[in-house]
Structure 1
Amino acid sequence: MSRVVVFDEFGGPEVMQVVEEPVVEPGIGEVRIRIEAFAVNPLDQMMRSGTSPAIVPLPHARLGVEGTGIIDAVGPEVTGLEIGAPVILTAVPDASVRGSYAEYTTVPASRVVSRPAGLETTEAAAIWVAYSTAYGALVEKAGMRPGDHVLVTAASGGVGRAAVQIANQIGAVPIAITRHTAKRHDLIAAGAAAVIATDHEDVVEAVRDHTGGTGADIVLDLVMGPGQQDLVKAARPGGTLVAAGFLDPRPTPFPRSAPLTLFSYRSFEHTLDAVVVKRMAAFLNAGVRLGALRPAIDKVFALEDVVEAHRHFEKGLHAGKIVVTA
Structure 2
Amino acid sequence: MTKVVRFHEYGEPDVLRIDDIDVPAPAADEVQIAVRAIGLNRAEVMFRRHAYLQEAEFPSKLGYEAAGIVKALGSSVSEFSQGDAVSVIPTLDMARWGTYGEVINVPARHVVKHPANLSFEQAAASWMQYVTAWGALIEQAKLSAGEFVIVSAASSSVGIAAFQIARSVGATVIATTRTSAKTEGLRKAGAHHVIATAEEDLSARVKEITGGKGARVVFDPIGGPAIAQLAECMSVGGILLEYGALSPDEGPFPQFAVLGKSLTLKGYLYTEIVSEDAVLERAKTFINEGLRSGALDPLISRTFAFDQIQEATYFLESNEQIGKIVVTV
Q: TM-score under structure 2 normalisation?
A: 0.95
Deviation string, structure 1 residues 249-304 (Cα, Å, up to 9, x no partner): 22133333412022111111102322122211211122122222112111111111
Is 2:279 the partner of 1:272? no
Q: 2:150: which partner in 1?
A: 151
Structure 2 residue matching 1:185: 3-state secondary structure: helix
Question: 1: distance between equivalents of 2:253 and 2:56?
Answer: 29
Structure 2 residue matching 1:97: 3-state secondary structure: coil
Q: Is the 8 A contact 2:90 2:127 kept in 1?
A: no
Name stretches of at least 5 consecutive residues in structure 1 with no aligned partner: none
Structure 1 residue matching 2:320: 3-state secondary structure: coil
Match for 1:9: what amino acid?
E
Q: 1:243: which partner in 2?
A: 242
Question: 1: distance between equivalents of 2:96 and 2:54?
Answer: 13
One of 309, 314, 326 as aligned partner of 1:311: 314
Match for 1:321: what amino acid?
K
Question: 1: distance between equivalents of 2:111 and 2:204?
Answer: 44
Question: 2: distance between equivalents of 1:182 and 1:46?
Answer: 26
Question: 1: distance between equivalents of 2:266 and 2:181?
Answer: 31
Match for 1:188: what amino acid?
R
Q: 1:34: which partner in 2?
A: 34
Question: 1: distance between equivalents of 2:226 and 2:265?
Answer: 15
Once the two structures are TM-superposed, the CA of residue 4 in structure 1 deviates from its matched residue by 0.4
Q: Is the 8 A contact 1:271 1:277 kept in 2?
A: yes
When the two chains are superposed, the root-mean-square deviation of aligned CA atoms in Å is 1.3
What is the number of residues matched between the two proteins?
325
Deviation string, structure 1 residues 295-320 (Cα, Å, up to 9, x no partner): 21111111111011111112111121
Deviation string, structure 1 residues 61-106 (Cα, Å, up to 9, x no partner): 0110111111110111112111111111112222112300001111
Question: 2: distance between equivalents of 1:25 and 1:260?
Answer: 50
Q: Is the 8 A contact 2:28 2:74 kept in 1?
A: yes
Question: 2: distance between equivalents of 1:245 and 1:294?
Answer: 24
Question: 1: distance between equivalents of 2:271 and 2:8?
Answer: 26
Q: 1:299: which partner in 2?
A: 302
Q: 2:55: which partner in 1?
A: 55
Q: Is the 8 A contact 1:91 1:268 kept in 2?
A: no
Question: 1: distance between equivalents of 2:277 and 2:251?
Answer: 32
Question: 1: distance between equivalents of 2:286 and 2:204?
Answer: 34
Q: 1:212: which partner in 2?
A: 211
Question: 1: distance between equivalents of 2:10 and 2:160?
Answer: 30
Match for 2:96: what amino acid?
V
Q: TM-score under structure 1 normalisation?
A: 0.96
Question: 2: distance between equivalents of 1:114 and 1:221?
Answer: 30
Question: 2: distance between equivalents of 1:279 and 1:30?
Answer: 21
Alpha-carbon distance change, 200 to 245 in structure 1, aligned in 2, over 3 angstroms: same
Alpha-carbon distance change, 116 to 247 in structure 1, aligned in 2, over 3 angstroms: farther
% same residue:
40
Is 2:322 the partner of 1:323? no
Name stretches of at least 5 consecutive residues in structure 2 with no aligned partner: none
Structure 1 residue matching 2:65: 3-state secondary structure: coil
Structure 1 residue matching 2:126: 3-state secondary structure: helix
Q: Is the 8 A contact 1:62 1:95 kept in 2?
A: yes
